[in-house]
């Protein structure tokens, strides 16, 4: 009787862990949270590598503040129409485009452009990380859920995003310090982030379900 009780309890725990019920859905969820953990690393790079950025780009504190302001204003304005785009277009295509575009912007960023071009890049990143990405990410994650497990899916999404961002940051910092913490090290870290983000975009296009994205648009 006691053994049966423990077996039943173990089965319940396994059922709670397997709330998606399909390994393909787990793959999609992993792809979503990896992309979500990477896409904002380049626009917010100044928080991790503040001093190296000041030295490499020959900027002042005010310059970095202006770049952050340009990104923040664009992202804020882009937030609301992003939901409309996610309803009208394929979430898979929007997510893949956003990640690849962000990564390509990062490769340009690694060439150490002028302050004026960095300003343009900040506006560009504000658009592709919010207008075409955020609402699509949330909607695509919702299509992964089964039954009333949406809350768990969003929990895994947020936890996975945090884990991905942390691991990528450790790797980028190790790369920077290995190369002396100078201009070359920062450029290498930027290229590292950029290539990871582009790869996440390609994986998103391959593994995210087009039919699920369509169902997500119809659900609202």
Q: Is 175 exposed, middle or buried (0-12, 13-18, 19+ CB in 10 A)?
A: middle
**Contact (Cβ atoms closer than 8 angstroms) between residue 168 and residue 41:** yes
Render pLDDT for 172-197 as a digit per residue (tens, 0 to 9).
999 999 988 889 999 999 999 999 99
Whole-number Å distance between alpha carbons of 69 and 163: 27
**Domains of the chain (ranges plus CATH)?**
33-219 (1.20.1250.20)
**Contact (Cβ atoms closer than 8 angstroms) between residue 201 and residue 97:** yes
> What's the mean per-residue pLDDT of the chain?
86
Render pLDDT for 106-163 as a digit per residue (tens, 0 to 9).
999 999 999 999 999 999 999 999 999 999 999 999 888 776 778 888 999 999 999 9
**Contact (Cβ atoms closer than 8 angstroms) between residue 20 and residue 149:** yes
């Amino acid at each position: 009787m006691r053994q049966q009780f423990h077996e039943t309890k173990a089965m319940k725990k396994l059922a709670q862990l397997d709330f998606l019920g399909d390994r393909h859905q787990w793959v999609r969820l992993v792809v979503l949270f990896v992309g979500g953990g990477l896409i904002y690393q380049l626009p917010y790079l100044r928080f991790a590598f503040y001093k190296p950025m000041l030295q490499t780009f020959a900027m002042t504190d005010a310059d970095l503040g202006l770049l952050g302001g340009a990104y923040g204003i664009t992202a804020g304005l882009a937030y609301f129409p992003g939901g409309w785009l996610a309803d009208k277009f394929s979430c898979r295509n929007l997510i893949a485009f956003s990640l690849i575009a962000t990564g390509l912007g990062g490769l340009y960023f690694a060439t150490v452009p002028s302050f004026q071009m960095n300003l343009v890049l900040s506006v560009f990143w504000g658009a592709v990380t919010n207008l075409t990405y955020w609402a699509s990410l949330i909607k695509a994650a919702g299509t992964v859920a089964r039954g009333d497990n949406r809350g768990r899916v969003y929990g895994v999404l947020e936890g996975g995003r945090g884990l991905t961002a942390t691991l990528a940051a450790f790797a980028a910092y190790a790369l920077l310090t290995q190369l002396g913490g100078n201009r070359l090290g920062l450029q290498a870290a930027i290229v590292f982030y950029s290539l990871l983000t582009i790869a996440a975009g390609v994986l998103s296009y391959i593994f995210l379900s087009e039919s699920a994205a369509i169902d997500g648009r119809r659900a609202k």
